[in-house]
Chain A
Amino acid sequence: MSRLLPFIGFMLLAGLFGFGIWWNTQHDPNAIPTPLLNKPAPAFDLPKLYEPTQTVSKADLLGKPYLLNVFASWCIECGVEHPVLEAEGPTLGVQLVGYNYKDVPADAKRWLAQHGSPYAVVIADEPGHTAIDFGVYGAPESFLIDAQGVIRYKHIGPLTPEVVAKELKPAIAALRKEKP
């Protein structure tokens, strides 16, 4: 028995490492849990990308749930996410609000012209101050905000068909169920 002890110890360690590897395939180890979940979204008032003289505020968007999608033309993974938004966007049943993060407006417009725009409206945060209030630290990030302006779901990194099917759509369905 005592001769088996080192072997058992080794197997336990191997098991632990295996678990760690499995865990990291299931979770993004760099994703930071947002403390804002199920809390009111921060107030914002940002210019529209296409009509910079007009702004969109949090109050303007109240009343209907929407998906706030943080993107930028410099963000490579946004190009990966974009076809998914184009394909799945119309089936989600909530409007998509584009949040252009720390981008040159001309670049963003060119990028959207190239890839197509799945967004009902695009707001631009060139200095990135408001994004700090949202706890944004890169792109892409997506926030599902309900009709009362509460953040109900957040995804860090690109929305993939799997994430949309397994997380985003159930979250939207949960919002619908609440509605009387």
Chain B
Amino acid sequence: MRLSSCGSGFSRDALGTLRQKASRPKPLPQGSLLRLLLAALLSLAGALHAQAIEPMPFANHAQELRFQHLTHQLRCPMCQNETLADSNAPIARDLRNQIFQMMQQGKSDDEIKQYLVARYSDFVLYDPPLTRGTWLLWFGPLLILLGGGGVVLVAIRKRGRMPANGSSGPRPPIDNGDDW
């Protein structure tokens, strides 16, 4: 596997912990050197974080919303558990810029998605299209639900057919005193 620079999550975490540390009222034991180091780390984390946000010159608020909506539906090819909107990987940044450019050229969301799928396959879509290769992905959970339902049904029927053993007629209602 390749070294991936999925930086945004890390820097955000680092920033969080460092902030916690910095805001702690207790004085630091090692004095100024450690504090200096901490400040340096903090500013570094801040810089990384700022890089992940990177403001873009949107024409208007609606376009910005559209951009956010679209990039949240697309997967970063490098950091595959992150959306293009969240990822700080270099390729995610490039693709965000590309999407932004295409929006300025008046391309529709579908055209932009087509553009990306042609290069990076359906992997970039968080909502994969229904094809022969993906029907199990779409209907697998339903199949499992039906299978499980079948097992439960068979078990219930079996139990219903079983002769009532001795004492129990209809079972007494379960009341364990929990009234919440």
Contact = CB atoms under 8 A, between A and B. Distances in A.
A77 B4 CA distance: 10
A32 B120 contact: yes
Contacts of A157: 1-2
Interface string A146-168: 00000000001110000000000
Interface residues of B, number: 19
Nearest to A133: B119
A115 B81 CA distance: 34
A35 interface: yes
B94 interface: yes
A132 B91 CA distance: 8
A158 B2 CA distance: 8
A164 B91 CA distance: 26
Contacts of B90: 102, 128
B91 to A, nearest CB: 4
B63 interface: no
B126 interface: no
A135 B118 CA distance: 8
Interface string B1-37: 1111000000000000000000000000000000000
Interface of A: 28, 30, 32-36, 75-77, 102, 127-129, 131-140, 156-158
